[in-house]
Structure 1
Amino acid sequence: MKSVGYATWVGTWKEGAGTLSTKSETLKNSAYSFSSRFEGTPGASPEELLGAAHAGCFNQALANNFGMIGVVAESITTSVTVDLGYGDDGHPAIKNVHVITQAKVPGLGEEKFQYCAERARANCTLSKIFKCEITMDATLSVM
């Protein structure tokens, strides 16, 4: 399976603007700019999309880990914060990634939950592409 993303850009790095889209049209011509990436103004950012993609990947990995020990999640909710800053060389860099996940899993104890969450944090497909620390807070909801 090959997934395709598209981007357009017109102008300089700081004053220009562009759009982000996907072949599936899940995302279609979403505006982005220097200020939406680095200054928090309205608009999309590649890092925000990366966070959403990582959260989705993590949830599937966690559900798979649960299945390998014979339990099924009632729910898994995850947010991923991608911290974009500047590296030692002065160029933009992803400084760290932080996963916050909460799951409701009947019959699962805290120790096995933390094992499954840590395994998903370290091994989901998108976790493997980051060259920075990925931290996590994982909470098992009490039934």
Structure 2
Amino acid sequence: MESKAKSMWKGSWKQGTGTISTDSKVLDEQPYTYATRFEDPKGAGPEELLAAAHAGCINQALSNIFGQKGYLTESIDTTVSIKLGRDDREKLQIKASHITSKIKVDGVSDAEFAELAEIAKAGCTISRALNIEIILNAIKI
């Protein structure tokens, strides 16, 4: 399996404009700028797309891991916040992915719930691709 996306950019870093597209056309020339990426939370940007990808991946990983142990996840509601910071050379860097997952599942003890959530976090393909701190706050509802 292979997933594809593309981006086009015109102009300088702060004054330029660009678009982001996916092969599936879920995003089709979605515009983005320096401002939508770093200043205004309303608008497209690579970090926002990474957050969405991580949330979707975590949801499926949680459902899979709980299901392997015989537990049906009735619902999983996940929010991911990608944290930007600066490295030791003052260059922008993604520093962390903060995940909050509210999981409705019956029959699992609190200890096993926490263990399975950590297994899912570690096994999610997006988590495995990232070389950053990943923090999961799994809440049983």
- Give the AA of the match of 2:30: S
- Mapped pair 1:129 → 2:98: no
1:109 aligns with 2:94: no
- In the alignment, the residues of structure 2 paired with residue 9 and residue 52 of structure 1 have an alpha-carbon distance, to the nearest angstrom, of 22
CA contact (8 A) 1:66 1:73 kept: yes
Identify the residue that residue 82 of structure 1 maps to in structure 2: 82
Residue ranges of structure 2 left out of the alignment (5+ in a row): none
Deviation at residue 41 of structure 1 after TM alignment:
4.9
Amino acid at match of 1:65: I
In structure 1, stretches of 5+ residues that fail to align are none
CA offset digits 1:42-101 (Å, max 9, x no partner):
320101010000111111111111111111100011111101222111211001110100
Deviation at 1:33, TM superposition (A): 1.0
Whether 1:54 and 2:54 are equivalent positions in the alignment is: yes
Q: 1:31: which partner in 2?
A: 31
Instruction: Please report the TM-score for the alignment, with normalisation by the length of structure 2.
Output: 0.95
TM-score (norm 1): 0.94
Is the partner of 2:71 in helix, strand or coil?
coil
Matching of residue 70 in structure 1 with residue 70 in structure 2? yes
Task: Please identify runs of 4+ aligned residues in structure 1 that moved more than 6 A.
Answer: none
| Separation in structure 2 between the aligned mates of residue 19 and residue 85 of structure 1, nearest angstrom | 24
Size of the aligned set, in residue pairs, is 141
Q: Distance in 2 between matches of 1:125 and 1:132?
A: 14
| Residues 62, 116 of structure 1: 8 Å contact kept | yes
Q: Percentage identity across aligned positions?
A: 45
Superposition deviation, residue 40 in structure 1: 2.3
How far off is 1:126 after superposition? 0.4
RMSD value, Cα: 1.1
